[in-house]
Amino acid sequence: MSASRDDRNSARIPPSTATTSRPSRRSVLAGGAFVLAGGLLPGRLGSAAATPLPKATRALDLSSGFMDFRLLGPDKPASRISVYDGTPFKTIRARRGEVLDITYRNGIDEGTTVHWHGIRIQNAFDGIPTLTQPLVQPGGTFRYLVPLDDPGTFFFHPHCDETGQTGKGLAGVLLVEDERDPAFDAEHVLCLKDWRLADDGSFLAMSEPAGASKAGTYGATRTVNGQPVVELEAPAHGDVRLRILNLDSTRVMDIGVDHGDAALIAVDGHALPPILLDNLPDGVWRMGPAQRIDLHIRMPAAGGTVRLADYRQSSLYTFATLTATSATTPAATPAAHAPRPFRPFALPRPQVPRADLKRATRLSFLLQQATDAAVKETALPPDDPLAKALIDSLCVGSTTYWAIGQQSWPTGTRRNLPPPLAEMTTGRSYRVSINNGSRYPHPVHLHGHVFEVINSSTGRLPHHFADTVLVQPDEIVEIAFVAAPGDWVFHCHILEHMEAGMMGYFRVT
C-alpha cells in the first residue's frame, strides 16, 4: 500500500540532516548541553519549548541490520529479516530510574527512526520523522535519551514504513526491572509475530488493498520468538512470570492458559490488581498489536504441562508449553514448591500522573473508514513552524482508507503535515472518548503518555493503565491522562490502518 521503494527513496531528505553531531558522553552525563545537527533538538521542530534534559546514567549502542533466519523451519529456506544488533527481538534489560543514552546507527537500506513504545519520554526523542526528528538515513546515527521512570514490559520499533520494516522483524524488547518486584522462580519473554513468507523464504507483499481497507493483511507463518512453538520448563509448583508481547502488524489475539493457575498482573507493563484469567470474559485477554501483558503462572506437579494459546481463531494456535520439573531454584526450599493455594503476586503500583477526572477537559474522536474524497482538506497556519515541513515519501501510504474524525494522515502525494487533532495544555487533565464507528477492531496507541482506561461501553475492560487500548467495533472506550508537552502521535497500531490514514497528533503547549 506504500509507494514503490524506488519512488519513495528518491525523495529522501539529505543524509546530513539526519546524522547527529555527537557530543562527548561526559557532557551528557554531567547534564551539559545536548546539541545536535541543526541546533538544540528539543523543540527544534516546533513541537514544544525546550525543557531540561535528564542526566544519562548508562550508555548503549544500538544498530539495525539484516540476518538470515529459518522462520519456515530448520530444513526450509532462510528468510532475510531485519533485526537490531544482529538478534531477532533484541532485548535490553534495565533498571527503573536509569536514563539510557542510546546511539542508534541505521544499518538497513532505507531511512528509519526508533520509537520507544510506552516510555514516557521527551518529545524530541519519540522517533516520529518530520514531527519530532529527521529521518535517519542509511549509515546515519541518532542519539536518544530514554528515561525509565516506569517498570514493566516495553518495546521499540521504527516509525516509518512500519509495514515493511517491522513486518520484516525490526522490533526489540525493553524490560524495565524494579527492585520492588516480587521474586518469581522463573521468567520467560514471549514475542508473538506472524510473517508473510513465500515457500522459498522470501517475503510476500506486506500489504494488500483488501487487507489494508479491512482487518489488515495477515501473515500465514505464526511464530513465538521466531519459532513455531517454544517448550519451556519451570519448577513444580513454582511461580512463573510470563511477559507476552504482540509484535504482529495486524493480528488480534485471545491469550489463554490451560492446565495451570494463571492471573493477569500487568497490562502494557503497568501493574493492576491481579485478575484470574478464568474471571475475564471467555477466560482470555484480548490483545491487539503492540499490546503486552504480564501473567503469573502457578506450575502444576512435576511432569505436568501448562499450555499457552491464542484462542481467537477456529484453529487453536498453541505457542508455548511449560513443563514442571522436579528441580528447584538454588534459593528455594522443598517446602516452597509444595502444593499451596494460588495467591497471585501483585507488582508495584504504577506511579504515573493521575488525571483529575472531575476537572478534566472532555474530547471525543471517531475512528472511521474513509476515502481521499471524504477527508477534510485542512492545513497548519502559515506561521506554524511545521507548516512547510514535508513528510518523507517513504513514511506515507499510497491510499486513504481510514480517518480519525474525518481527518487522515497524509497518503499518496499529500505530504504536508496536517494540523493537530486537538490542542492541549501541559499539566492539564483530559478525558478522551474513542468511538469505533467501523466494522473492525483498532488498538489505539498514544505516544509519550500512560493513560488510565476508565471504562468501555461494553463493560469488558477492567480499570487499568496502558499506552494502547483495543477498541472493538461499535465500542466506546474512555481514557484519561495528564498532558505532557510536545506533539504526540495518536494512532491505530494495525500498521496498515495507520499508514492508510488512521493517525494524527495532539499538540500540547
Q: Kindly report the CA angle at 163 between 397 and 135, in degrees rounded to 5?
A: 70
Percent of the chain whose pLDDT exceeds 70: 87
What is the DSSP code (8-state) at residue 209? Answer: H
Query: 397 has which bridge partners?
Result: 2, 411
Return the amino acid letter for 38.
Answer: G
- Per-residue pLDDT, 336: 56
Between the alpha carbon of residue 370 and those of residues 374, 403, 418, the distances in Å are: 6, 6, 16
**Res 14: pLDDT:** 33
Check if the beta carbon of residue 142 is closer than 8 Å to that of residue 472: no
How do strand 79-84 and strand 58-69 relate by DSSP bridges?
Answer: antiparallel
Res 187 pLDDT > 90: yes
pLDDT of residue 9: 35
Residue 36's pLDDT band (cuts 50, 70, 90): very low
Per-position DSSP letters for 72-141, written without gaps between them: T-TTS--EEEEEETTBTT-EEEEETT-EEEEEEE--SSS-B--EEET----GGGS--BTTTB--B-TT-E
Over residues 6-18, mean pLDDT: 35
Q: What is the DSSP string of 3-66?
A: PPHHHHHTTPPPGGGTS-----HHHHHTT---EETTEESTTTTSSS---PPPPP-EEEEEEEEE
At 315, the pLDDT band (50, 70, 90 cuts) reads: confident
pLDDT at residue 424 in the model: 98
Domains in the chain and their CATH numbers? 5-177 (2.60.40.420), 186-337 (2.60.40.420), 361-508 (2.60.40.420)
Whole-angstrom CA distances from 372 to 210, 401, 420, 496 are 17, 8, 18, 16
Residue 253 is which amino acid?
Answer: M
Residue 472 cell numbers, joined: 472493538
Cα–Cα dist 180/95, whole Å:
11
Once rounded to an integer, what is the mean pLDDT over residues 358-362?
A: 98
Q: What is the structure's pLDDT at 15?
A: 34
Residue 416 reports pLDDT greater than 60: yes
**pLDDT given for residue 377 in this prediction:** 74
Give residue for cell 538497513: 108
Write the pLDDT tens digit of every residue in 138-151: 999 999 999 999 99
pLDDT of residue 8: 36
Query: Which pLDDT band holds residue 334 (cuts at 50, 70, 90)?
Result: low
pLDDT level of residue 152 (50, 70, 90 thresholds): very high
pLDDT of residue 339: 80
Q: What's the rounded mean pLDDT across residues 196-215?
A: 97
User: Using 50, 70 and 90 to split pLDDT, how confident is the model at 52?
Assistant: confident
pLDDT at 289: 98
Mean pLDDT of the chain: 90
End-to-end CA distance of the chain: 34
Burial (CB count <10 Å: 0-12, 13-18, 19+), residue 53 = buried
Q: How confident is the model at residue 19 (pLDDT cuts 50, 70, 90)?
A: very low
The predicted structure's pLDDT at residue 163: 97
Q: What is the DSSP letter of 421?
A: S
Looking only at the bridges linking them, the beta strands covering 317-325 and 230-235 are parallel
**DSSP 8-class letter at 197:** B
- Quick check: 26 pLDDT over 60? no
Please write the tens of the pLDDT for every residue from 429-443. Answer: 999 999 999 999 999
Query: Which of 14-18, 127-131, 428-432 shows the lowest per-residue confidence on average (mean pLDDT)?
Result: 14-18
Cβ distance 152 to 139 under 8 Å? Answer: no
- Mean pLDDT computed over 239-250: 98
Residue 206 has pLDDT above 60, yes or no: yes
Q: Indicate if the pLDDT at residue 404 is higher than 70.
A: yes
The per-residue pLDDT for 145 is 98
**Has residue 345 got a pLDDT over 70?**
yes
Q: Tens of pLDDT along 473-493?
A: 999 999 999 999 999 999 999
Q: d(Cα 308, Cα 306) in Å, to the nearest integer?
A: 7
Q: What is the arithmetic mean of pLDDT over 278-293?
A: 97
Question: Which of 325-339, 377-391, 446-460, 489-503 has the least mean pLDDT?
Answer: 325-339
pLDDT tens profile 257-276:
998 899 999 999 999 999 99
